Chain A
Amino acid sequence: MEYTFSSGAKKFIIALIVAGIAFLGLGLLLDGHHTYIDKDLSLGQRIWTDLLGNGFFFFGISLGALFFLALQYAAEAAYTIVYKRVLEAVTKWLPIGLGIIVIVILAGMAHQHHIYHWMDPKVYQEFLPDGKTVNPDYDHIIAHKSNYFNFGDGDGYVHLIRVVAFGLIFVYFMSKFRKNSLLEDEEGGTRIHFKNITSAAIFLVLFGYGSSILAWDLLMSTDVHWFSTLYGWYVFAGFWLSSIITTIVLIVYLQSTGKMAWVKKGHLHDLSKWMFALSFLWTYLWFAQFMLIWYADIPEEVAPYVARIQDYKVLFFGMMLINFVLPMVGLMDADAKKKKGLITVIGCIIFITHWIDVQLLIIPSSMKGEGQIGLVEFGFFFIFLGAFLLVTLKALAGRPLLVKNHPYLEESKNLYH
């Protein structure tokens, strides 16, 4: 059974994008003339920040789905096969997300924005050109890291190469899994399945390193003085959860149009369990990182937390508490995890808190004390969401909704009744 990109869905997406443009326009109108105290800040900086924030958030959703897909192969799991095509569709955004991130980095290298303070060549020179006067912009901590980001002159090539390399590796696996999936439909047998298991294992290893490194490079380095070993795993838990929620919502939507009757309540129950468990995993990692830094109270380490708590107290603690309490209260019960309406509502709320989480990883660093989450940010969110759904639904419409010839297909279909 095929999914056809309905005109209703198209209208909804257009409405999202129009709303986004309206929010953005209104935001620029009301707030565009805001004068910033810090000389590095500007409206442009705010817009680049939002491009990075949304770029990473939606890139993460695709990457999370790709990780989950690979995990199913490696774990010999059958329960996801009936909605494997949905997972595959969610990964489709990956190259676009990567492209947006790379554009933001290139713009930084061309000094269009100052999100990455280490891209400023001035911070690396201990003395001014005369060789005697101490450079007031010199930053010995950043200078220490110079070989990690670039070759000491602030061009950022090492950083760019790393991001592009890992990004392209992930995109390669994405297109490979998607291609093999269609090939398996035609060819049958188990050859492709076993090949996919091997690819999945290789992907998971690369992902294990790449996901942490990308999180450090793209997000943690916006606060270039700061460091946390847990950071990569924390970011990963967040985007994995967002991708599960995206999958749930898409399945609920498809079923509301009368499609995918083979996905039973039990299958949705499994996905809700993932949403439930990953919310706690994310909260656990949030707490582990926060508590250890709060407890030791070392000035260099607490600085980013101080910035976030001072300026975004309600959002910062609110998103964490919602993530912790809402699934516990709303999804503890086994029957609750099977109610489509309930899991959609809870899923969407958690999804939004994770969008806030990612924005709060960047905005307080790049906009210093003068950032906000306002109309401009919501505008970008709606535009990105619309574009993401457009790509994902088009990918869904492009191929049958159910795989054929997957060795676990019959088992998966008959798991629940």
Chain B
Amino acid sequence: MHHVEADIREPLILGNKTYHQITEDVCAPVEGKANKMWWTVFTLAALLATWGLGCIFYTVGVGIGVWGLNKTVDWAWDITNFVWWVGIGHAGTLISAVLLLFRQRWRMAINRSAEAMTIFAVIMAALFPLLHMGRIWMAYWVFPLPNQFGSLWVNFNSPLLWDVFAISTYFSVSLVFWYIGLIPDFATIRDRAVKPAAKKAYSILAFGWTGSAKHWNRFEEVSLVLAGLATPLVFSVHSIVSMDFATSVIPGWHTTIFPPYFVAGAVFSGFAMVCTLMLVMRKVLHLEDYILVKHIEYMNIIIMLTGSMVGVAYLSELFISWYSGVEYEGYAFMNRATGWYWWSYASMMTCNVVSPQLMWVKKWRRNLVLTFIMSIIVNIGMWFERFVIIVTSIHRDYVPSSWNLFHPTIVDMGLFLGTLGIFFVLYLLYARVFPVLALNEVKTILRTTGEAQLKQLRAGEHITVAEGHGKGH
């Protein structure tokens, strides 16, 4: 097939790479030893994780009273963190599934790590509803299992139950999708492994992959099917999370734009987290030739786009709260913007709507330091978004006796920071033993988007991939 690449397209892989060189570059972190930087970050993350685990055991052992639960608003911490983590767990599947369906080749540099991040983030999210049950050993009661407890049965009318189904389905599909993508790359590592133990481990993980044409054929078919399945799931998960709020008649929660606006917000925060991780990873693991400034720029554009969509939604809510003439809605939003918690509303607006507008400037969205800071600001903003929605609506309930301000306890804080710690521990371990780039997929775009190959193409020469072709595989 004659392929034409427009002249104004930038390369997606830098340098004069060979297929073998790609294998070498991606396998290096797995085969080599961890450097000092990795150990430093890992130690920090492990410390945080330890604190978190301590708080988890303390919560389970003593009971959820340690969260200071007294009034409804006190649950805010748990719910905020749950929604924040689920939101972050959105970008992975979006990058792999939606961008695969759109045949966006730039996804190949980031999809593997984005999917890994998704899976770890969803696990962190799941911790919060599990812990809030108090008696965690009864967690299986959320499933509609036949039982002998008399009238005990799940409530199908409750969005919380829909959440159980949506998130577990999303998690399963994301996990399978991620794993299938990993199989050919595990096989590459297996074939290169020197130590018998590693060889054994990777050959189990590689499921007997041989790289035959038939395997590739099956691989591509199943990837497309899973992408097709995963795309509606990206929508359903956060839509249903939003329905946890929007189906109720609490002012500030019951608004129809919630489902799509939560999805946009989730993609927004997910991409920001991917940006944070990628910027660190490309430096530490020396992947600057694969994760280019162009990739970061694309991600920043998506962050700007979804941030602006969230901004339209915020303003729509604000406007309709007035337009509707419903006093309760009007008060809820007025109170959000100017009441006790005005600072959290202001933080949310600044971080989520105003600051992404910096990305209009090409120079800024290609600036890595600024991007790194921005990605963290966005995630702070998205944490505040959930905090604003939950706390401002609940701290001035219909019943004045439940009016209260929100104070996190030390255990609350430990749980949140702890999940950050556990998340980074898992991610850092992943970066050491898994191929962090879809190396076999990246090879498929080398001929059309490699820097040296593009030069040949544009000069009208025959495209060659220098010696090393097919080796190391």
Q: Which A residues lie at the B interface, using CB under 8 A?
A: 76, 78, 140-141, 144-145, 148, 190, 193, 201, 205, 208-209, 212, 227-233, 273, 280, 284-285, 288-289, 291-293, 295-296, 298, 300, 407-408, 410-411, 413-414, 417
Contact A288 B232 (CB under 8 A): no
Contact B254 A292 (CB under 8 A): yes
**Nearest 3 A/B pairs, CB to CB:** A229-B257, A230-B256, A414-B4
By a CB distance below 8 angstroms, the chain A residues around B320 are 227-229
By a CB distance below 8 angstroms, the chain A residues around B232 are 280
Q: A145-B325, A296-B248, A296-B249 are in contact. Are A411 and B256 (CB under 8 A)?
A: no
Contact A232 B316 (CB under 8 A): yes
CB distance from A282 to the nearest CB of B (A): 12
Q: Which of B260, B308, B324 contacts A227 (CB 8 A)?
A: B324
CB distance from B460 to the nearest CB of A (A): 13
Contact B2 A414 (CB under 8 A): yes
Q: Looking across the interface, which residue of chain A has its beta carbon closest to that of B224?
A: A334
CB distance from B381 to the nearest CB of A (A): 19
By a CB distance below 8 angstroms, the chain B residues around A212 are 312, 316
**Binding stretch for chain A, among B5-13, B31-39, B175-183, B204-212:** B5-13
Q: Please measure, in the bound complex, the distance between the C-alpha atom of A187 and the C-alpha atom of B323, giving whole angstroms.
A: 49
Q: Which of B3, B257, B308 contacts A208 (CB 8 A)?
A: B308
Tally of contacts, chain A with chain B, CB under 8 A: 88
Contact A296 B4 (CB under 8 A): no
CB distance from A283 to the nearest CB of B (A): 11
Q: How many residues does chain B have at the interface if contact means C-beta atoms less than 8 Å apart?
A: 37
Is B41 an interface position by the 8 A CB rule? Answer: no
**Binding stretch for chain A, among B54-62, B239-247, B402-410, B436-444:** B239-247
Q: Looking across the interface, which residue of chain A has its beta carbon closest to that of B318?
A: A229
16 contacts between A and B (CB under 8 A): A148-B323, A208-B308, A212-B312, A228-B256, A229-B255, A229-B256, A229-B313, A229-B320, A284-B235, A284-B260, A291-B243, A296-B249, A407-B8, A408-B6, A410-B4, A417-B2
Is B345 an interface position by the 8 A CB rule? Answer: no
CB proximity to A under 8 Å, residues B302-339: 308-309, 312-313, 316-317, 320, 323-326
Is B1 an interface position by the 8 A CB rule? Answer: yes
By a CB distance below 8 angstroms, the chain A residues around B256 are 228-231, 288-289, 292-293
Which of A208, A209, A284, A288 has the most B CB atoms < 10 Å from its CB? Answer: A288
Q: Looking across the interface, which residue of chain B has its beta carbon closest to that of A205?
A: B308
Q: Looking across the interface, which residue of chain A has its beta carbon closest to that of B357?
A: A205
CB proximity to A under 8 Å, residues B1-53: 1-9
Contact B4 A413 (CB under 8 A): yes
Q: Please measure, in the bound complex, the distance between the C-alpha atom of A231 and the C-alpha atom of B319, giving whole angstroms.
A: 13
CB distance from A67 to the nearest CB of B (A): 13
Q: Which B residues lie at the A interface, using CB under 8 A?
A: 1-9, 101, 232, 235, 239, 243, 246-249, 254-260, 308-309, 312-313, 316-317, 320, 323-326, 360
Contact B6 A411 (CB under 8 A): yes
20 more CB-based (< 8 A) A-B contacts, given A193-B8, A208-B309, A414-B4: A145-B325, A190-B8, A205-B308, A230-B256, A230-B259, A230-B260, A231-B256, A284-B239, A284-B259, A288-B258, A292-B243, A292-B246, A296-B248, A407-B7, A411-B4, A411-B5, A411-B6, A411-B9, A414-B3, A417-B2
Question: What secondary structure prevails in chain A residues at the interface with B?
Answer: helix
Q: Please measure, in the bound complex, the distance between the C-alpha atom of A267 and the C-alpha atom of B9, giving whole angstroms.
A: 20
By a CB distance below 8 angstroms, the chain B residues around A414 are 2-4
Q: Looking across the interface, which residue of chain A has its beta carbon closest to that of B236?
A: A284
By a CB distance below 8 angstroms, the chain B residues around A148 are 323
Q: Looking across the interface, which residue of chain A has its beta carbon closest to that of B316?
A: A229
By a CB distance below 8 angstroms, the chain A residues around B317 are 229
Q: Which of A140, A205, A295 contacts B247 (CB 8 A)?
A: A295
By a CB distance below 8 angstroms, the chain A residues around B309 are 208
Q: Looking across the interface, which residue of chain B has its beta carbon closest to that of A229?
A: B257
Q: Please measure, in the bound complex, the distance between the C-alpha atom of A78 and the C-alpha atom of B249, giving whole angstroms.
A: 46
CB distance from B447 to the nearest CB of A (A): 15
By a CB distance below 8 angstroms, the chain A residues around B324 are 227
Q: Please measure, in the bound complex, the distance between the C-alpha atom of A229 and the C-alpha atom of B312, giving whole angstroms.
A: 10
CB distance from B113 to the nearest CB of A (A): 23
Contact A227 B6 (CB under 8 A): no
Q: Please measure, in the bound complex, the distance between the C-alpha atom of A280 and the C-alpha atom of B101, giving whole angstroms.
A: 15
Contact B257 A233 (CB under 8 A): yes
CB distance from B359 to the nearest CB of A (A): 11
Q: A292-B243, A295-B247 are in contact. Are A233 and B308 (CB under 8 A)?
A: no
CB distance from A396 to the nearest CB of B (A): 25
By a CB distance below 8 angstroms, the chain A residues around B8 are 190, 193, 407-408
Q: Looking across the interface, which residue of chain B has its beta carbon closest to that of A193?
A: B8
Q: Please measure, in the bound complex, the distance between the C-alpha atom of A417 and the C-alpha atom of B1, giving whole angstroms.
A: 8
Q: Please measure, in the bound complex, the distance between the C-alpha atom of A410 and the C-alpha atom of B235, giving whole angstroms.
A: 35
Contact A288 B239 (CB under 8 A): yes
Q: Looking across the interface, which residue of chain B has its beta carbon closest to that of A234?
A: B256
By a CB distance below 8 angstroms, the chain B residues around A227 are 320, 323-324
By a CB distance below 8 angstroms, the chain A residues around B325 are 140-141, 144-145
CB distance from A166 to the nearest CB of B (A): 14
Q: Please measure, in the bound complex, the distance between the C-alpha atom of A229 and the C-alpha atom of B8, giving whole angstroms.
A: 40
CB distance from B87 to the nearest CB of A (A): 17
By a CB distance below 8 angstroms, the chain B residues around A410 are 4, 6
Q: Looking across the interface, which residue of chain A has its beta carbon closest to that of B313?
A: A229
CB distance from B286 to the nearest CB of A (A): 28
Contact A292 B308 (CB under 8 A): no
By a CB distance below 8 angstroms, the chain A residues around B248 are 296
Which of B3, B4, B243 has the most A CB atoms < 10 Å from its CB? Answer: B4
Contact B247 A296 (CB under 8 A): yes
CB distance from B222 to the nearest CB of A (A): 15
Q: Looking across the interface, which residue of chain B has its beta carbon closest to that of A194?
A: B8
By a CB distance below 8 angstroms, the chain B residues around A144 are 325
By a CB distance below 8 angstroms, the chain A residues around B249 are 296, 298
By a CB distance below 8 angstroms, the chain B residues around A231 are 256
Q: Please measure, in the bound complex, the distance between the C-alpha atom of A411 and the C-alpha atom of B325, giving whole angstroms.
A: 53
Contact B326 A285 (CB under 8 A): no
By a CB distance below 8 angstroms, the chain B residues around A141 are 325
Q: Looking across the interface, which residue of chain A has its beta carbon closest to that of B329?
A: A227
Q: Please measure, in the bound complex, the distance between the C-alpha atom of A417 and the C-alpha atom of B317, giving whole angstroms.
A: 48
Q: Please measure, in the bound complex, the distance between the C-alpha atom of A193 and the C-alpha atom of B248, giving whole angstroms.
A: 49
CB distance from B300 to the nearest CB of A (A): 13
CB distance from B5 to the nearest CB of A (A): 6
By a CB distance below 8 angstroms, the chain B residues around A205 are 308
By a CB distance below 8 angstroms, the chain B residues around A408 are 6, 8
Q: Looking across the interface, which residue of chain A has its beta carbon closest to that of B232?
A: A280
By a CB distance below 8 angstroms, the chain B residues around A201 are 360
Q: Please measure, in the bound complex, the distance between the C-alpha atom of A29 and the C-alpha atom of B141, giving whole angstroms.
A: 66
Q: Please measure, in the bound complex, the distance between the C-alpha atom of A39 and the C-alpha atom of B317, giving whole angstroms.
A: 35
Q: Please measure, in the bound complex, the distance between the C-alpha atom of A209 and the C-alpha atom of B254, giving whole angstroms.
A: 22
By a CB distance below 8 angstroms, the chain B residues around A140 are 325
Q: A212-B316, A229-B255 are in contact. Are A292 and B247 (CB under 8 A)?
A: yes
Q: Please measure, in the bound complex, the distance between the C-alpha atom of A284 and the C-alpha atom of B243, giving whole angstroms.
A: 13
Q: A205-B308, A229-B320, A230-B256 are in contact. Are A300 and B326 (CB under 8 A)?
A: yes
Q: Which of B3, B254, B308, B323 contacts A296 (CB 8 A)?
A: B254
Q: Which of A193, A230, A293, A413 contacts B257 (CB 8 A)?
A: A230
Q: Please measure, in the bound complex, the distance between the C-alpha atom of A271 and the C-alpha atom of B13, giving whole angstroms.
A: 30
